[in-house]
């Protein structure tokens, strides 16, 4: 990985200004002195000895988050903005609540604006003005899934978004979103720099698929695995409830199969687990299904939504080009049809139940460990923003929260390593 130079380069740029100069304000947090680490240690990226006995690289590391003794912003004069982008994920409300509480109660900022419906709220704030988040409003929101701010997908004008930040006198914008949204974050930060504004952009990585590079764990993932397991267990109950019963579950995972893999491990009832990282061989899968039915008369298949997208496109162009029905890109329905056709041709009676639990999973409230994680994430984000960091994600690596330059994170992808122990465990338990 040639990210070292990139990182070193980026680190320099992750402050609004290299010369804090006059901009030094005392931190109002009432905490013992030891909690303010002015020169914090850094979190090492590497965590194993190199394969060839080489010493690991010590220069690739992440900044340690605050709180900081000296702030770039005067908290009492600060307005902050929060925006939630992309699909729902358990814990969004926890993060909104944590940022709001930290700003209101700990830093005593002026206003916390919750922009509505993702980046759209930053361009249409006249139609759909931001909520002013108070302690009362956010106090119980973590008890419910989703985001009280609403979300949306899709690009917006960077210029207009920065105009809105200016018009609301925002000093720090917290962008809770995935790869696409953080890509927009870097563009917003660039526009801010171009205009020479004093606005910090802090990213909170949000991906239920857990596929953001240099971030070991994203919030909501554990919760998603919990509910994915329930769907798998439902499929298992359905499968054993019929002769040659087949339970087929499609789980989230556009590019990364972490949810499918962990939920399969957690359930212990999965016989075939398909993830985007592993090449998709339809014929071989159909044969495994047949042989399993002969042997044990029921089976459970888990498939991540991103599996076989290339094949689906092919199939579609060959066989369904007149319809252009987007449902045909649904690997779950595709597999359902293929399996049934295959078994019918061989006169194998069967009952297939297809379960697509995605909306029911992503809309749940965060489980306790995710809630604890979100609360800490939100606090770290506020500490970083107040200190004048910008263009930075709050990550979690090697057991520590850390600061990851957004561009560094965007330079790579996190995927299931199909050579590692976790995936091998999946293969081992799905052999039977």
How many Å apart are CA 258 and CA 224, to the nearest integer? 10
Task: From 163-171, 190-198, 232-240, 335-343, give the range in contact with a copy of itself by CB under 8 A.
Answer: 232-240
Q: Which is nearer to a copy of itself, 191 or 238 (CB)?
A: 238
How many Å apart are CA 217 and CA 172, to the nearest integer? 24
CB 396 within 8 A of CB 210: no
Q: Which of 96, 120, 189, 394 binds a copy of itself (CB under 8 A)?
A: 120
CB 89 within 8 A of CB 57: no
Task: From 16-24, 194-202, 224-232, 275-283, give the range in contact with a copy of itself by CB under 8 A.
Answer: 224-232
- Per rule CB under 8 A, is residue 240 in the interface with a copy of itself? yes
- Per rule CB under 8 A, is residue 432 in the interface with a copy of itself? yes
- Per rule CB under 8 A, is residue 329 in the interface with a copy of itself? no
| CB contact burial 3-17 (16+ within 10 A = b; e otherwise) | beebbeebbeebbbe
- Per rule CB under 8 A, is residue 216 in the interface with a copy of itself? yes
Kindly report the number of other CB atoms within 10 A of residue 59's CB atom. Answer: 12
Q: Which of 16, 158, 172, 235 binds a copy of itself (CB under 8 A)?
A: 235
- Per rule CB under 8 A, is residue 279 in the interface with a copy of itself? no
CB 16 within 8 A of CB 386: no
- Per rule CB under 8 A, is residue 229 in the interface with a copy of itself? yes
- CA triple 397-199-104, angle to 5 deg: 75
How many Å apart are CA 107 and CA 103, to the nearest integer? 5
Size of the site for a copy of itself (CB under 8 A): 99
Q: Which is nearer to a copy of itself, 190 or 237 (CB)?
A: 237
CB of 120 to a copy of itself, least distance (A): 7
Kindly report the number of other CB atoms within 10 A of residue 236's CB atom. Answer: 21
Determine which one of 209, 211, 222, 370 is catalytic: 209
Q: Which of 3, 152, 186, 337 binds a copy of itself (CB under 8 A)?
A: 152
Q: Which of 234, 286, 311, 340 binds a copy of itself (CB under 8 A)?
A: 234
Q: Residue with structure tokens 């495994």?
A: 288
- Per rule CB under 8 A, is residue 50 in the interface with a copy of itself? yes
Q: Which is nearer to a copy of itself, 103 or 410 (CB)?
A: 103
Task: From 17-25, 159-167, 261-269, 334-342, give the range in contact with a copy of itself by CB under 8 A.
Answer: 261-269
- Per rule CB under 8 A, is residue 262 in the interface with a copy of itself? yes
CB of 307 to a copy of itself, least distance (A): 19
How many Å apart are CA 98 and CA 379, to the nearest integer? 6
Task: From 8-16, 59-67, 175-183, 284-292, give the range in contact with a copy of itself by CB under 8 A.
Answer: 59-67
CB of 260 to a copy of itself, least distance (A): 12
Site for a copy of itself in 69-98 (CB under 8 A): 88, 94, 97
- Per rule CB under 8 A, is residue 267 in the interface with a copy of itself? yes
Task: From 39-47, 197-205, 311-319, 404-412, give the range in contact with a copy of itself by CB under 8 A.
Answer: 39-47
Which residues are CB-contacts of 234 (< 8 A; sequence separation ≥ 6)? 247, 355
CB 223 within 8 A of CB 367: yes
- Per rule CB under 8 A, is residue 142 in the interface with a copy of itself? yes
Structure tokens at 247: 């339970």
- CA triple 38-43-44, angle to 5 deg: 145
| C-alpha neighbours within 13 Å on the C-beta side of residue 211 | 22
Cα–Cα distance list, 368 to 98, 219, 258, 415 (Å): 14, 11, 20, 25
Cα–Cα distance list, 261 to 233, 248, 267, 271, 276 (Å): 14, 15, 10, 12, 11
The sign one gets for the Cα dihedral 8, 57, 409, 223 is negative
Q: Which is nearer to a copy of itself, 147 or 391 (CB)?
A: 147
- Per rule CB under 8 A, is residue 243 in the interface with a copy of itself? yes
Residue 321 annotated as catalytic: no
- Per rule CB under 8 A, is residue 46 in the interface with a copy of itself? yes
Site for a copy of itself in 358-397 (CB under 8 A): 359-360, 363-364, 367-369, 371-372, 375-376, 379-380
CB of 222 to a copy of itself, least distance (A): 5
Q: What are the catalytic residues? A: 209
């Amino acid at each position: 990985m040639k990210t070292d130079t990139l990182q070193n380069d980026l680190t320099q740029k992750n402050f609004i200004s290299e010369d804090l100069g006059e901009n030094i304000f005392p931190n109002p947090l009432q905490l013992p002195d030891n909690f303010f680490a002015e020169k914090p240690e850094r979190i090492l990226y590497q965590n194993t000895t190199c394969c060839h006995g080489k010493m690991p690289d010590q220069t690739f590391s992440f900044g340690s988050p605050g709180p900081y003794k000296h702030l770039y912003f005067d908290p009492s004069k600060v307005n902050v903005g929060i925006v939630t982008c992309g699909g729902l994920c358990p814990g969004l409300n926890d993060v909104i609540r944590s940022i709001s509480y930290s700003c209101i109660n700990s830093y005593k900022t002026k206003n916390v604006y919750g922009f509505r419906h993702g980046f759209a709220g930053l361009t249409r704030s006249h139609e759909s003005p931001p909520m002013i988040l108070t302690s009362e409003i956010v106090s119980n929101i973590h008890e419910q899934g989703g985001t009280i701010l609403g979300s949306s997908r899709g690009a917006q004008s960077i210029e207009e978004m920065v105009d809105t930040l200016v018009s609301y006198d925002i000093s720090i914008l917290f962008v809770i979103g995935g790869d696409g949204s953080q890509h927009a974050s870097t563009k917003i930060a660039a526009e801010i720099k171009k205009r020479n504004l004093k606005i910090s952009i802090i990213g909170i990585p949000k991906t239920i698929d857990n596929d953001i590079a240099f971030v070991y764990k994203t919030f909501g993932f554990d919760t998603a695995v919990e509910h994915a397991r329930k769907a798998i267990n439902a499929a298992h109950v359905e499968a054993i409830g019929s002769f040659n019963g087949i339970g087929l579950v499609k789980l989230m995972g556009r590019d990364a199969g972490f949810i499918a893999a962990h939920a399969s491990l957690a359930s212990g009832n999965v016989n075939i687990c398909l993830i985007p990282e592993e090449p998709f061989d339809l014929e071989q899968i159909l044969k495994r299904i047949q042989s399993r039915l002969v042997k044990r008369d029921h089976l459970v298949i888990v498939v991540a939504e991103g599996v076989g997208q290339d094949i689906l496109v092919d199939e579609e162009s060959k066989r369904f080009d007149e319809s252009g029905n987007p449902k045909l890109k649904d690997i779950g329905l595709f597999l359902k049809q293929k399996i049934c056709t295959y078994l019918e041709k061989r006169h194998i009676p069967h009952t297939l139940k297809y379960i697509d639990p995605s909306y029911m999973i992503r809309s749940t409230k965060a489980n306790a460990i995710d809630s604890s994680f979100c609360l800490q994430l939100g606090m770290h984000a506020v500490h970083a923003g107040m200190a004048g960091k910008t263009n930075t994600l709050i990550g979690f690596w090697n057991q520590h929260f850390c600061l990851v330059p957004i561009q560094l994170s965007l330079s790579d992808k996190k995927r299931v390593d199909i050579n590692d122990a976790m995936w091998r465990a999946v293969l081992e338990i799905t052999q039977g």
